[in-house]
Chains A and B, each alone.
Chain A
Amino acid sequence: QKEVEQNSGPLSVPEGAIASLNCTYSDRGSQSFFWYRQYSGKSPELIMFIYSNGDKEDGRFTAQLNKASQYVSLLIRDSQPSDSATYLCAVSGGAGNMLTFGGGTRLMVKP
């Protein structure tokens, strides 16, 4: 059974700091990796995806993928209180394949 593991948190960081969110997955055949943000009471929204080993940057967000270690992370630079949310990691085997979600990490950014 495919598993995606995340620390449930809460991860607390001060405003302006770098928040580092981590995710491990069990299926070595996984090819696509996604990060979702979910505010309390709202539906998840896609913030980043990554397919290749290495880093992918989008504004204050950087996704990092290490397939050999089966590890994907999300870095949020200059964290803001508005970044406080639950971050879900999701993994799929490729195009058309279903996503497997982790349980999410709750991030709290304190002013």
Chain B
Amino acid sequence: SQTIHQWPATLVQPVGSPLSLECTVEGTSNPNLYWYRQAAGRGLQLLFYSVGIGQISSEVPQNLSASRPQDRQFILSSKKLLLSDSGFYLCAWSSNGYTFGSGTRLTVV
């Protein structure tokens, strides 16, 4: 069966520090992968999506970047975090609809 793993579950980082969030998918090949952010009490904001290795599309210009070094691995990064980067980050892959990972709650202090 297909599963999606996302870590860490929670993260507290100081302003200006780097960020790396990882997402991996098992049980499928060449999945479409997505990174979403959800601010407190708000809806889902699509950040990046990828249809294959090395292929990244950005939906929102900001200080975040994404990479897909392997077929089932999707990484969200930042060189210098801002306070506004705080939120709940969700990775998803598409099958029939989307399946979401368990999310990472990021607090930038």
A residues in contact (CB < 8 Å) with B: 32, 34, 36, 41-46, 49, 88, 90, 92, 96, 98-99, 101-104
Is B32 an interface position by the 8 A CB rule?
Answer: yes
Is B65 an interface position by the 8 A CB rule?
Answer: no
Q: Which residues of B contact A99 (CB under 8 A)?
A: 94, 97-98
CB 8 Å contact bits of B76-109 with A (1 = contact, 0 = none): 0000000000001010001011111111010000
Contact B43 A98 (CB under 8 A): no
A89 to B105, CA, bound (A): 22
A101 to B88, CA, bound (A): 16
Contact A88 B94 (CB under 8 A): no
A103 touches which one: B34, B43, B99, B105 (CB < 8 A)?
Answer: B43
A87 to B88, CA, bound (A): 17
Interface of B is mostly: strand
CB distance from A80 to the nearest CB of B (A): 23
Given contacts A43-B90, A96-B32, A98-B49, contact A49 B97 (CB under 8 A): yes
Which chain B residue has the least Cβ–Cβ distance from A33?
Answer: B97
Is B46 an interface position by the 8 A CB rule?
Answer: yes
Contact A96 B103 (CB under 8 A): no
CB 8 Å contact bits of B26-51 with A (1 = contact, 0 = none): 00000010100000001110100100
Q: Which residues of B contact A103 (CB under 8 A)?
A: 42-43
A99 to B94, CA, bound (A): 9
A44 to B6, CA, bound (A): 14
Q: Which residues of A contact B88 (CB under 8 A)?
A: 41
**A–B complex contacts, Cβ < 8 Å, 11 sampled:** A32-B97, A34-B98, A36-B97, A42-B103, A43-B100, A43-B102, A98-B34, A99-B94, A99-B98, A101-B43, A103-B43
Contact B90 A101 (CB under 8 A): no
Contact A49 B96 (CB under 8 A): yes
CB distance from B44 to the nearest CB of A (A): 5
